Amino acid sequence: MSIFSLVTGRPGPSGYGSASTAELVTQGIDASNLTAIVTGGASGIGLETSRVLALRGAHVIIAARNTDAANKAKDVILNDIGNARIHVLKLDLSSTKSVRAFVDSFNALHLPLNLLINNAGVMFCPFQLSEDGIEMQFATNHLGHFLLTNLLLDKMKDTARKTGVEGRIVNLSSIAHLHAYEEGIQFDKINDQSSYSDKRAYGQSKLANILHANELSRRLQEEGANLTMNSVHPGLIMTPLMRHSALLMKTLKIFTCLLWKNVAQGAATTCYVALDPRLKGVSGKYFLDCNETMPSSYARDQKLARKLWDFSNKLVGSASASAS
């Protein structure tokens, strides 16, 4: 998509563009036979994604670290959509222990699972380590979703087999993946405070989101599973995610005001990729403004994706061993 399209909202090949809202891109779609998990569904574009999926009839599980905020979000949705089906479950993506506990809680509901929206994240936070001893942005934005997705895969495959309905996984990445570290992923310096940059660490985690989606998509296609996985850039939206850099973002917005979206527009690409029937079988792609686009060369590097997969498995294994 060109800058002109971003500014004007001119639709791309899909018929939608930067000005399209989540309600618009899902208009006429019946999702009443679908169950979806939305991480970080208590605020911002996660809340709007949850609301619109519920509006289209989906049973939505809001997975959130702050369950009080998530229950308030649930009430907001129910006030808007009286017959909405909403569950709230606790999930702290920076903790592998919490991820495993969430999956146990979800499985106890005995629900199918058609959609997994890996939306939650942290942004530009000061250097800190997770309880598993992993840099917080990498731990939360990538590793937690990596583990969550792997633990839910069998449930999604089983649901797809029994229902014949394609399952879909969506990773929320960002255009910030273009501004990761020089080598893309700092495998040997993930926890190195001396070289830490809050902006580049965020870009690294968003690059990891795309690489994760691409590698899992490749594996699912080889297996012949009726599941797709794609990544999206929602756009520039002022949300609580930016709390660590609110002044910088507000200043930036003054000079780039025409490129920013509201929350309804920010959730559009996620909802489009999750529900649009025209994307049946489309997997391993990157979407911006509801249209497929080309990510960075690092994001398209298959060797890097496989290396990240193996690296992530080792980190998850080490964290699990430490917790036991």
Tokens of 250: 């507000």
- Residue 35: strand pairing partners: 59
Rounded to whole angstroms, the maximal C-alpha distance in the chain is 54
d(CA 74, CA 221): 35
Strand 35-39 and strand 59-64: the pairing is: parallel
138 near 197, Cβ under 8 Å?
A: no
**Residue 103 CB-density burial (10 A; 0-12 exposed, 13-18 middle, 19+ buried):** buried
Catalytic residue annotation: 196
Tell how strand 291-293 and strand 286-288 pair up.
Answer: antiparallel
Distance CA 288, CA 123 (A): 19
